Chain A
Amino acid sequence: MASDSADESSPTLRDYAMLIGRALALGAVLAGVAVPLVVLSGESVRFASEKVFAVAALVFGFSILGWSGSVFAGRGIENFQRYIGGRSDWSEADSRRAMMVLGSVGAGGMVGASLTTAVVGAVV
C-alpha cells in the first residue's frame, strides 16, 4: 500500500508523456474545430488562422510564463504565504504541472491552427 501511495504522489515520465500528449491532442482538436468555424461564420481563412493561432499562442505564452514564474519565485511565494499566515494549498510543484498541461494545450493549438489552415485553405 505504501508503494501505491508513493506511486500516486510521484508521477513517472510515462505519466507526464501521457498527460502532455493528451493536452497537445486536445489543443490541436480545439484549433482544428475553431478555424473552420470562424471561416463558416463569414471571415476569411487568413483571419481565422491568425486569430486562432494567436489565442493558442496566448495560452502557450501564458503557461510558459506561469511555469517559469513558478520555478523562479515558487519557493519564495510559498515562504511568503507561510509568513503572512495564508492557508492556501498552492505549491510550486502543482503550479508547474498545471502550467505544463496548459502549455501543451496551447502548443497543440498552434500546430493545429497551422495544419487546419493549410487544409481549409486548400478546400476554400
Chain B
Amino acid sequence: MISKRFVIKRLLLLVPVLFGVATFVFAILHLSPGDPARVIAGQRASEEFVRQIRTELGLNDPIWVQYGRFLFEAVQLDFGQSYQIQRGQPVTEVLRYKLPVTLEMAIYGQLFGILLGIPAGLLGAVKQDAVSDHVTRIGALTGISVPIYWSGPLVILLFAQVLGWFPASGRIASEFSIEPITGVITFDTLISGNFAAFQSAAMHLLLPSLVIGIYSMALISRMMRSSMLEVIRQDYMRTARAKGQGSKITVMKHGFQNALIPVVTVIGIQFGSLLGGAVLTETVFGIAGIGTLLVRAIQVGDYPIVQGTVLTFAFLFTMVNLLVDITYSYLDPRIEQ
C-alpha cells in the first residue's frame, strides 16, 4: 500500500520542477532575437502600431515585472494567446486539441518498447550467450544507435513505399470523418463504433509508434537483461532452484518482480525522450501534434505557444515519473523509507 505522505512529498516536488522550467523558458525566449510585437503586427506595420502592441502586451514593463506576471499567470494555467499560429486563440485551447495526438503516439510507442523490450531482455538473460541473446543484443544496440530522423524515413521507405503495407503519413485515411471526443483517434473511432476507421487509425499509428518505441525498446531490453542476470545470481534464486522449483517458475515468480525495479525507473526517464522524440517523429510522419506545433511556434516566434508547450511537456514528464515512483515503491516497499 502506498502511503499518502510519499505521494504528497512527490507531488510537492512538482512545484520546483515546473517553476524551474517556467523560469528557464522565460529566460531563453527573452534571450532569443526577435520582437513578439513585430511578429504580431507583421513586418510592414508602422513603428507606432508596433509600440502600441508592445504596450498592450506589457512588453514595455521592466523584465522582472514581466517575469512575475508570467509566473502568476502560468500558475493559473493562463499562457496567454497565440501570436501567430492560431492568432488570438488561448494557448490552453490550442494545446487541448494537439496534446492527445502526441500522447497517443508516445503511449503506443512506450507500450511497443515495453512489450518487446522486457521479453527480449528476459530471453537474453535466461539464455545468456546463446544465439537469441546475441540477436537481441545486436537489435538493442542498433535501436540505441539509430536516430529517429534516420530510422523514420527508412521505415517509411520500406513499409510504405516498397512493401505498401502501411500509410506513410497522417493519422487516418481521408475517407473517414471522425468527430473528436477525446482527441485520441484510436479511442474515438472505437467509441463511435466505426471499426473500419479504427483499423485505418491503427495502421497510420503503427509506423510512428514503432519508430518512437525502438529506442525505448532497446534500452529496456538491455536494462532488463542486466538486471535479470544480477537477480538470477542471488542466493534466494539458488535456494528456490535447490528446493526443486523449475527454472521458469523461479525466474517468473521470484526473479521477475525484483529485476523489474530498475527497468521501471528507465521506463519513466525514457518517457521524456519519447516526448522529445515526438517532435521529430511528428515532423517525419506529418502528424499535427504538439511536436510539430512547437517546431512551428519556434520558427515563427509564437512565444506563448512555446512556453505553454514546454511547460506541458515538463508537467507530463514529472507526472509520469510520479507514477513510476509509485510503481517503484509498490515493487519494493523499502523505497518509501
Please report A residues at the B interface, Cβ cutoff 8 Å.
Answer: 49-51, 53-55, 57-58, 60-69, 71-73, 76-77, 79-80, 83-84, 110, 114, 117
Question: In whole angstroms, how far apart are the Cα atoms of A79 and B332 in the complex?
Answer: 14
Question: In the bound complex, do residue A53 and residue B64 qualify as a contact, i.e. CB atoms below 8 Å apart?
Answer: yes
Minimum CB–CB distance from A79 to chain B (whole Å) comes to: 5
> Interface residues of A: mostly helix, strand, loop or mixed?
helix
User: When the two chains form the complex, which single residue of B16, B21, B266 contacts A80, counting CB atoms closer than 8 Å?
Assistant: B266
Please report B residues at the A interface, Cβ cutoff 8 Å.
Answer: 13, 16-17, 19-28, 30-31, 62-64, 67, 223, 226-227, 230, 261-262, 265-266, 268-269, 318, 321
User: When the two chains form the complex, which single residue of B13, B64, B230, B266 contacts A72, counting CB atoms closer than 8 Å?
Assistant: B13
Question: In whole angstroms, how far apart are the Cα atoms of A122 and B321 in the complex?
Answer: 48
Minimum CB–CB distance from B318 to chain A (whole Å) comes to: 7
Question: In whole angstroms, how far apart are the Cα atoms of A66 and B17 in the complex?
Answer: 9
Question: In whole angstroms, how far apart are the Cα atoms of A13 and B24 in the complex?
Answer: 28
Given known A-B contacts A58-B27, A114-B64, A67 and B16 have beta carbons under 8 A apart: yes
User: When the two chains form the complex, which single residue of B17, B21, B26, B266 contacts A57, counting CB atoms closer than 8 Å?
Assistant: B26
Question: In the bound complex, do residue B21 and residue A65 qualify as a contact, i.e. CB atoms below 8 Å apart?
Answer: yes
Q: In the complex, what residue of chain B is closest to A106 when comparing beta carbons?
A: B23
Question: In whole angstroms, how far apart are the Cα atoms of A77 and B321 in the complex?
Answer: 13
Question: In the bound complex, do residue A49 and residue B265 qualify as a contact, i.e. CB atoms below 8 Å apart?
Answer: no
Question: A residues within 8 A CB of B13?
Answer: 68, 71-72
Given known A-B contacts A57-B67, A73-B269, A84 and B31 have beta carbons under 8 A apart: no
Given known A-B contacts A55-B31, A72-B321, A64 and B64 have beta carbons under 8 A apart: no
Question: In the bound complex, do residue B62 and residue A76 qualify as a contact, i.e. CB atoms below 8 Å apart?
Answer: no
Given known A-B contacts A58-B31, A83-B226, A68 and B20 have beta carbons under 8 A apart: yes
Question: In whole angstroms, how far apart are the Cα atoms of A68 and B9 in the complex?
Answer: 12
What are 21 A-B interface contacts by the 8 Å CB criterion?
A51-B30, A51-B31, A54-B30, A55-B31, A57-B23, A57-B26, A57-B30, A58-B27, A61-B21, A61-B24, A61-B26, A64-B24, A65-B17, A65-B21, A66-B20, A72-B318, A76-B262, A83-B262, A84-B226, A114-B62, A117-B62
Q: In the complex, what residue of chain A is closest to B23 when comparing beta carbons?
A: A61
Question: A residues within 8 A CB of B16?
Answer: 64, 67-68
Given known A-B contacts A54-B63, A62-B24, A68-B13, A83 and B227 have beta carbons under 8 A apart: yes
Question: B residues within 8 A CB of A51?
Answer: 30-31
Minimum CB–CB distance from A18 to chain B (whole Å) comes to: 23
Question: In the bound complex, do residue B28 and residue A58 qualify as a contact, i.e. CB atoms below 8 Å apart?
Answer: yes
Q: In the complex, what residue of chain A is closest to B322 when comparing beta carbons?
A: A72
Minimum CB–CB distance from B6 to chain A (whole Å) comes to: 13
User: When the two chains form the complex, which single residue of B64, B230, B262, B321 contacts A110, counting CB atoms closer than 8 Å?
Assistant: B64
Question: In whole angstroms, how far apart are the Cα atoms of A54 and B63 in the complex?
Answer: 8
Question: A residues within 8 A CB of B25?
Answer: 61
Question: A residues within 8 A CB of B19?
Answer: 64
Question: A residues within 8 A CB of B64?
Answer: 53, 110, 114
Question: B residues within 8 A CB of A114?
Answer: 62, 64
User: When the two chains form the complex, which single residue of A68, A71, A76 contacts B265, counting CB atoms closer than 8 Å?
Assistant: A76
Question: In the bound complex, do residue B262 and residue A57 qualify as a contact, i.e. CB atoms below 8 Å apart?
Answer: no
Question: A residues within 8 A CB of B63?
Answer: 49-50, 53-54
User: When the two chains form the complex, which single residue of B20, B28, B227, B268 contacts A65, counting CB atoms closer than 8 Å?
Assistant: B20
Given known A-B contacts A68-B13, A68-B16, A72-B321, A54 and B31 have beta carbons under 8 A apart: yes
Question: A residues within 8 A CB of B24?
Answer: 57-58, 61-62, 64-65
Question: B residues within 8 A CB of A55?
Answer: 27, 31
